[in-house]
Structure formats: structure tokens, C-alpha cells
Amino acid sequence: MRLWWLLVLWLCVPHVVVAACLPEPPTTLFPVVLNQFGYTTSARKIAVARDPQTGFDAATNYTPSASLEVRRRSDTAVMTTVTPTAWNGGATHTQSGDKVWWVDFSALTTPGTYYLFDPALNARSDFFVVSDTAYTMVLRHALRMFYYQRSGFAKAAPFTDAKWADGAAFLGTGQDTAARSIVDQGNAGTAKDVRGGWFDAGDYNKYTVWATYALTDLLLAYLQYPSIWTDDLNIPESGNGIPDLLDEAKWELDWLLRMQTATGNNSVLSKVAVTGTQATSPPSADTNAHYWGAASTASTACTASVFALGALAFAAAGQASYATTLTTAAESAWTWAQANNAVGYTNTGFGSANPEPSTYGRALCQIQAAAYLYARTNTAAYKTYFEANYTTLTAIGNTYWYSFPPDVYGQQAVLYYSALAGATPAVKTAIQNSKTSGIGGSEFYGAVTSATDAYRAYLKDADYVWGVNRNKAHIGLLFLDQVRYNLDSANATNYRYAAAGYLHYLLGVNPLGLVFLTNMNAYGATRSANEMAHAWADNGTEWDNALTSTKGPMPGFLTGGVNPVFTGTGLPTPPVGQPILKAYVDGNTGTPQKMWEFTEPSIAYQAALVHLLAHFVANP
């Protein structure tokens, strides 16, 4: 017996560390939310402790101890102590229904895995890392979403886990290799090859204008942060010497090239879709016929803009031949759109969404095209058009910069133009002054400096609508534009911190304590979205739920987000009867509940998140 205890003592002394001898963190959690993937070393690190007053969790009662500890996970050592600060003097935050305290542990900069600890309760927060690679895995899975959204392409080992393998979809009879006109369905002579591209969202349809939205964020992310994009994403093109982000973008650009070729006159078709809302899971099992919708000025001009932007990106990556192909296609599309500048699209025959923007949105497509074409070609005609029309953008006239489409994409284009060497100085000044004035308002920088939002990612009430998570990402990008374009450099650090607040919201700093990305618990999250409204991962399928179905949804899809103006009926609580920031249901049931209004993903939402993440991967 004496020898046994001597052996135990020897094993547990400092010179031999055995995991079983180290103290374990508590298993009880207290109500505090933080970025579940962690923080970079230089980040401002602020968790939010919660005492819900209204909403589904109002029975939770919590007041933090006067002092909380940051402890190291491996040995529970206390790294620092922090004092919680009551938000707004202890007031209840209306949008969430919570009283909250901010817990600032920014002084913690040593890489490692940690947790917050409340000694009075012997309870902890979720674990989190401090690392300059905290978001590398998140970005990887967010970008791989586009691989799973590929139409007409098999997902197979070794490029996917067997759970998400599927054959090439929509290459059958009457589908994308021979899709017919929606208004002349019986005429085989209208058949066109419009294969490829990405599924737009939770359905399997493809929309040209909305595809350009996604491509704009992805291509700008490449041009603005070229050093972070690797060639090892484990997609079929990995290892070809081209960054995988561009390989993925090329999959969509090639589809747009087919949509242009199919018209025979350099215009670009508007959409490819089923007639209604029919869909089968998995995609390869879907035999529904697909049809194309006619070209419009908007679809053609917006496509010209991303062809030109794509040419800039591929040229920067040393892919001169493809850059030339895109430049030629962009100029041809521009010429058609200028000669046919008022051609609308009616969506006749389709029961799915109409992607045609307003007359204003159509004008923005042309402004965007002019900006990127001038950047690519240095041709005076594009500069002349841009400078004669850029004030059409609402943001320029009223110095209010938007997070909604189509404005947000027009804003990105005018800012890009303002940094070009050939831009007229007065035009550059007008654009950049408007941007700085706009970001300084009460909804943006003013909301940061006045601590308007308890969860540090402010949107006004009216902006919480279907797809709000894209808006959250784009407001983060609006702040980062101040840094990227060196506007108001004295406040650059604060703009960066403000942008990070919107990223933290999406990755866990919200009243739900939820990462709004699907099935990420194996990749660093503690509580990620379990369901999404996607035809592949539909209710009752093998891919239905990350916790309860046999396979779960594909990882890394950004859901739409909270939505207090939902129209579904028969919904549970939540979202029924909740404050704005708790109006969410982790579900995917269809009519009449319409859970797609909360959890449907979109390539445009996803691209905005990728663009936002890119900054914090490139600048930890």
C-alpha cells in the first residue's frame, strides 16, 4: 500500500504532468455569451453576461460576482481577474429583453484555451481560444459551403465526408444541359446549355443578379487580402496552383459565361429554375425540369461588373488567359446593356422568386460595371460614364451608407473606384467624404461610441428582417472599409473593433448564445445551428438535424438569422412572442410555419461572411 501511494505522489509532482492529476473545469455554465471560436491575440475581448427579463428564457436569474476570473482550461490556473460592467447603468436592453454586463478580458493576449469563471457559482463560460488562427477553420468551412452548392458536380471522397457525398445533379433530361424557355416550354428549339453554377440558397435555383452579389464579396475578398487564400481547401481543384477561393469563383463565373453565350447576342439570361417550389433530396435524385428566364439590362450589366472584377482578380493571381476571357465578356455585356438600357425581366411562368431589381438597382448594376471595367481596362469611356452617374447612388447624395442590397454592392464599387489612380480627385473626395460622414452616424460609429447595443452589433429595429445576418456582416464590412481605404485613420483601431463586434455576434455573442453556422460543433463551436431550410437537408431527411438525424446538414452554412417580422403560422416559442434578438427558431419545417424565414442560407449571405472573416484572418 505504501508503495502505491508513493507512485501516485511521484506521478502528480510537477516534473511529470499527468492529465488525471490536474483539476478539471466545472461542468456547470453560467449565462454568458462569447465568440465560441475565440479571439485573436490583439482583439478587444468582451463577453456579455446575461440576466434575461423578457422572452423565452426570462426565468433565468443571474447577477455576476463582483469579480470574474479568466482561467486556463488545461490546469484551471487563474490568468487574470475582471470586473463586470453593467450595460447602460443596469437598464434592460429592449431588442433582447436582457440586462447585461460587459466582461472585458482584452488584457489576455497569451495564446491558449480558456474560460470565464464565476467563483460564487462555481460555474464557467464556454471554452474559447486565444490565437491568431482562431478563425482559420471557420473561414475554411464557410468557403467550402460553395463546393456543396455546386450544381452539376458530384461531391465525392476524398473531397467530402461520406455523409455529404452526392452525385452530379441536374444533368438529366430537360435539366441544365438542355433547359428550355419558361415561356415556350414545349419548344425543344429553345433548349440551352446552362449547366454549372451554385444553387442560390436553400432551393436549387440559380439567379444571375444574386449570383453577382455573392461573387462581388468573394472577389473583393481576394483582391483585398490576397495572401490568405490557400490552395488546400480539399476541393477537386486544390493543388492546381490557383487559390481555391478563385477556383470556386470560377465555377460560378463559368456558369455566367454560359448564361451569356446562350443568348447569342452578349446579353445574359436572368435565371434557371423549376416552375414552382418543387425539389427532391438529395440533389442528384431531383428529376424536375429546369427552365431559363430571359435576359435583362440588370442581369447583363451586373454580370459585366463581376466579369470585370473577376478579370482583375484572376490577373492578379497570374491567370492572364482567363482574365482576358472575362474582360472580353464584360465589355460585350456592357455594350449590350448600354444599347438596351431599359429591358426589364417579368418572371412570367415561374413560381419562384423574381431576381429583377428596381430601376434604381438596374442603374447601380451599370455604375458597378463602369467602375470595375475602368479599373481593368483604363478605358476613358468607362470613367466618363461612372463619373457622370455615380451620384445616382443614394449613399452619395444623403451620406447614409446602407447594409442592404442593391446599395451595398454599389457602395463597394464606388469606393473601389475612388482608390484608382485615374479617378478625378474631386470625385474621389466626394465619395470618401460621404463614406466617412455616413459611417459616423448614430446607427454606425455613433452607436459604437454611445454603446447603443448591449450585444455590440447594432442594427435599428426596422432592419431586422429575413436574411439579417448578411446585413450584420455588411455593417462589419462598412467599418472595415474605413481601414481598407485609410479613411479617418485616427480612428482606425476603433473601426476595426466595431467591425469585430458584428463577427462576434454571428459567432456566438447574441442572446441565443448561438453560432449561426450549421453543424460546427466538431470544428470549435459549442452550440451551432442544428438545422437549415435547404432542400438537401429538408425536414425528415437524413441531413435534417446535426444532433438527431443520421448525417446532419453540411457544416458551415450561414443561416438567415433572427426575424421578428416572420409570416409563418403555427410556430413555437421562440420565435413567437419574443424580443427582436430572440425571434429565431432552429428548424426547417415548411408551410405553414415557413421556417425558411429564419434558417435558409444563401450564397450572398455566405460571401458577406467570408469577406468579413477574411480581414480578421489576414489581420489577427
User: Pick from 274, 69, 285, 70: which is nearest to 169 by CA?
Assistant: 285
Per residue in 55-81, pLDDT (tens digit) is: 999 999 999 999 999 999 999 999 999
Beta bridge partners of residue 136, listed in sequence order: none
DSSP state of 357: -
Over residues 239-252, mean pLDDT: 98
Per residue in 584-596, pLDDT (tens digit) is: 999 999 999 999 9
Per residue in 105-138, pLDDT (tens digit) is: 999 999 999 999 999 999 999 999 999 999 999 9
pTM attached to this predicted model = 0.96
User: Pick from 40, 18, 7: which is nearest to 616 by CA?
Assistant: 40
Q: How confident is the model at residue 398 (pLDDT cuts 50, 70, 90)?
A: confident
- Residue 511: CA count within 13 A, CB half-sphere: 32
Over residues 469-489, mean pLDDT: 97
Q: What is the mean pLDDT of the chain?
A: 96
Q: How confident is the model at residue 4 (pLDDT cuts 50, 70, 90)?
A: very low
Q: How confident is the model at residue 19 (pLDDT cuts 50, 70, 90)?
A: very low
**Percentage helix, strand, coil for the chain under 3-state DSSP, each rounded to 5:** 40, 10, 50
Cis peptide before 158 (omega within 30 of 0): yes
Per residue in 282-319, pLDDT (tens digit) is: 999 999 999 999 999 999 999 999 999 999 999 999 99
Q: Position of cell 469577406?
A: 611
Q: Which phi and psi (to 5°) does residue 303 adopt? A: -65, -40
Q: What is the rounded (10 degree) CA torsion for 25, 27, 28, 33?
A: 70
Reported in sequence order, the residue ranges of 88-127 that DSSP labels E, i.e. its strands, are 98-104, 112-118, 123-124
For 607, residues 6+ apart whose C-beta sits below 8 A from its C-beta are 213, 214, 215, 216, 217, 218, 221
CATH-assigned architecture of domain 29-130: Sandwich (2.60)
Over residues 211-220, mean pLDDT: 98
What strands lie across the sheet with 269-273, from one edge to the other? Answer: 180-181, 291-295, 269-273, 206-207
- Please state, in angstroms and rounded to a whole number, the distance separating the CA atoms of residues 289 and 140: 33
DSSP state of 317: T
Q: How confident is the model at residue 15 (pLDDT cuts 50, 70, 90)?
A: very low
Q: What is the pLDDT of residue 609?
A: 98
Choice among 396-405, 503-512, 555-564 with the minimum mean pLDDT = 396-405
More confident residue, 21 or 570: 570
> With contact defined as beta carbons under 8 Å apart, do 414 and 431 qualify?
yes
Q: What is the pLDDT of residue 502?
A: 98
Over residues 364-391, mean pLDDT: 98
Q: What is the pLDDT of residue 21?
A: 67
- For the record, the C-alpha cell of 462 comes out as 426596422
- Please state, in angstroms and rounded to a whole number, the distance separating the CA atoms of residues 549 and 281: 14
Q: What is the pLDDT of residue 1?
A: 35
Domain boundaries, the chain: 29-130, 135-336
Q: Alpha carbon of 395 to those of 107, 108, 115, 382, 464: distances in Å?
A: 38, 39, 43, 21, 20
- The DSSP-derived string for 365-405 is HHHHHHHHHHHHH--HHHHHHHHHHGGGSHHHHH----SST
Cis peptide before 357 (omega within 30 of 0): no
> Is residue 3 predicted with pLDDT exceeding 50?
no
What is the phi-psi region of residue 40: left when phi exceeds 0, alpha when psi lies from -120 to 50, beta otherwise? Answer: beta
- Please state, in angstroms and rounded to a whole number, the distance separating the CA atoms of residues 449 and 453: 10
- For the record, the C-alpha cell of 102 comes out as 460587459
> Is residue 8 predicted with pLDDT exceeding 70?
no
3-class SS at 150? strand
Q: What is the pLDDT of residue 399?
A: 85
> Is residue 10 predicted with pLDDT exceeding 80?
no
> Is residue 12 predicted with pLDDT exceeding 70?
no
On the 0-12 / 13-18 / 19+ scale of CB atoms within 10 A, 613 is buried
Over residues 236-246, mean pLDDT: 98
Determine the CATH number of domain 135-336. Answer: 1.50.10.10
User: Pick from 203, 195, 193: which is nearest to 261 by CA?
Assistant: 193
> With contact defined as beta carbons under 8 Å apart, do 409 and 474 qualify?
no
Per residue in 410-466, pLDDT (tens digit) is: 999 999 999 999 999 999 999 999 999 999 999 999 999 999 999 999 999 999 999
Over residues 267-286, mean pLDDT: 97
Rounded percentage of the chain residues whose pLDDT exceeds 90: 96
Q: What is the pLDDT of residue 539?
A: 97
Residues, the chain: 620
- Please state, in angstroms and rounded to a whole number, the distance separating the CA atoms of residues 252 and 206: 10
DSSP state of 563: -
Beta bridge partners of residue 295, listed in sequence order: 269
